[in-house]
Chain A
Amino acid sequence: MTLPQQAVTIAMVVLGTVLTRFLPFLLFSAGKSMPPYVRYLGKLLPSAVFGLLVVYSLKDTAILTGNHGIPELIACALVIALHVWKRQMLLSIAGGTIAYMALVQFVF
Chain B
Amino acid sequence: MDNKRTMLKKALYAAFPHTIPILAGFWFLGLTYGVYMNVSGFSFWYPMLISLTVFAGSIEFVAVNMLLGAFSPLQALAMTLMVNARHLFYGISMLEKYRGLGLKKAYLIFGMCDETFSINYTACIPKDVDRGWFMFFVTLLNHLYWFSGSTLGGIFGSFIKFDTTGLSFVMTAMFIVIFMEQWLKEDRHAGALMGIGVCTACLLIFGANHFIIPSMIAILGILTIFRKVFEKGKSLS
Q: Which residues of A contact B (CB under 8 A)?
A: 1-2, 5-6, 8-10, 12-25, 28, 30, 34, 37-38, 40-60, 71-72, 75-76, 79-80, 83-84, 87, 89-90, 92-94, 96-97, 100-105
* Contact with A48, one of B92, B167, B181, B219 (Cβ below 8 angstroms): B219
Q: Give min CB distance, A67 to chain B, whole Å.
A: 11
Contact A46 B121 (CB under 8 A): yes
Contact between A38 and B92, CB atoms less than 8 A apart: yes
Which B residues form the contact surface with A (CB < 8 A)? 20-21, 24-25, 49-50, 53-56, 59-60, 63, 66-74, 76-81, 84-96, 98-100, 105, 109-110, 112, 114, 118, 121, 163, 165-167, 169-184, 186, 189, 191-200, 203, 208, 211-212, 215-216, 219-220, 223-224, 227, 230-231, 234, 236
**Contact residues in A for B171 (Cβ distance below 8 Å):** 57
Chain B residues with CB under 8 A of A1: 67-71
Partner among A8, A24, A47, A104 whose Cβ is within 8 Å of the Cβ of B191: A47
Contacting A53 at CB < 8 Å: which of B99, B114, B180? Answer: B114
Number of A-B contacts (CB under 8 A): 258
- Could you say which residues of chain B place their CB within 8 Å of the CB of A47? 182-183, 186, 189, 191-192, 195
| Complex CA–CA separation, A23 to B196 (angstroms) | 26
Given contacts A24-B92, A45-B93, A59-B203, contact A9 B234 (CB under 8 A): no
Q: Is the CB of A93 within 8 A of B67?
A: no
Q: A93-B173, A101-B166, A104-B166 are in contact. Are A55 and B66 (CB under 8 A)?
A: no
Q: How far is the CA of A23 from the CA of B215 in the complex (A)?
A: 21
Chain A residues closer than 8 Å to B114, beta-carbon distance: 53
A40 touches B231 (CB 8 A): yes
Q: A47-B192, A93-B170 given as contacts; is B95 within 8 A of A10 (CB)?
A: no
In chain B, what residue has the closest Cβ to A76? B176
* CA gap between A40 and B228 in the complex, in Å: 11
A-B contact sample (19 more), CB < 8 A, given A13-B76, A52-B212: A1-B67, A9-B67, A10-B54, A10-B63, A13-B77, A15-B77, A41-B220, A44-B230, A47-B189, A47-B192, A48-B191, A50-B179, A51-B179, A51-B194, A51-B198, A59-B203, A72-B172, A90-B24, A92-B176
Contacting residues, chain B, for A2 (C-beta < 8 A): 71
* Residues of chain A with a CB closer than 8 A to B192's CB: 47-48, 50-51
**A43 CA / B167 CA spacing, docked (Å):** 33
A23 to B81, CA, bound (A): 11
Contact B100 A100 (CB under 8 A): no
